[in-house]
A and B are shown apart, each in its own frame.
Chain A
Amino acid sequence: AQTVTQSQPEMSVQEAETVTLSCTYDTSESDYYLFWYKQPPSRQMILVIRQEAYKQQNATENRFSVNFQKAAKSFSLKISDSQLGDAAMYFCAYRSAPFFMRFGAGTRLTVKP
C-alpha cells in the first residue's frame, strides 16, 4: 500500500522568511498526483498546490512552490515570504487509484512575527 510520510511534526519560520516542509511517499506506480493541503485553526482543508508525476516542471502558486524529485519519491513544499496567515497544519497527499487519496500525518507550521 502506498504510504505518505511527513517527518517534521512541527516547523517554525520567521515572518518574511522561507520555509520548506518535507514529504516522502512510497509507491510502485508511475502515474500519480501529489497535493499539499493547508488546514488553518478554522479546520477547513484548503488546496495549496498540485503536482502531476509525469510533469518534470515543479508546480508554483504565488509564494508556494514544490520541489518534486520523482526518483527520490520526495515532494517538498517551499513557502517564500512567509506571512502570519500561513500558520496552519500542512498535509501532503498522494493519489494514483481513483477515489483513494492518502494523506501524511501533517506538519504544524508556526509563523513568528
Chain B
Amino acid sequence: NAGVTQTPKFQVLKTGQSMTLQCAQDMNHNSMYWYRQDPGMGLRLIYYSASEGTTDKGEVPNGYNVSRLNKREFSLRLESAAPSQTSVYFCASSETGNDQPQHFGDGTRLSIL
C-alpha cells in the first residue's frame, strides 16, 4: 500500500526557475496538505485542500500555488524560486475531521541556489 507518494525526492533549482512538486494518495482521503519543514521550526502549512475542487491558504502561502487535480492528486508550484524556499516539503492527506491524523509522504528536499 503506497499511501502518500511525492515526486521528486530531491531537486536543485536556480533562483528564478519554476518547479512543480507532485503528490498523490491512494487512501481515498478528502483532504490534502502541503507543508514545509525548516530547521528549528517544525512543519508549517503552506496550502491545503479540504476536498476535491477547493484549496485554501495556510500559514506560509506566499510564493506558492497549488492545484487539486482530482481527489488523488495535489500539486505545489513554485513560479519563481527563491533561496528562502530552500526546504523539505511534505505532502499529507487525511479523512475529514479534527480527530483524523494526517498521513505523510516521504518529503522532497528542495535546494535553490
Contacts and interface: CB of A to CB of B under 8 A. Distances in A.
Interface residues of A, number: 25
Nearest to A35: B101
A50 B41 CA distance: 21
A45 B99 contact: no
B57 to A, nearest CB: 11
A112 B26 CA distance: 38
Interface in B77-102: 88, 90, 92, 96-99, 101-102
Give the interface SS of chain A, mostly helix, strand, loop or mixed.
loop
B98 A91 contact: no
A9 B90 CA distance: 21
Contact of A50 (B45, B99, B104, B107): B99
B102 A101 contact: yes
Interface of B: 31, 33, 40-45, 48, 50, 56, 58-59, 88, 90, 92, 96-99, 101-104, 106-107
Interface of A: 4, 9, 31-33, 35, 42-45, 47, 50, 52, 91, 95-101, 103-106
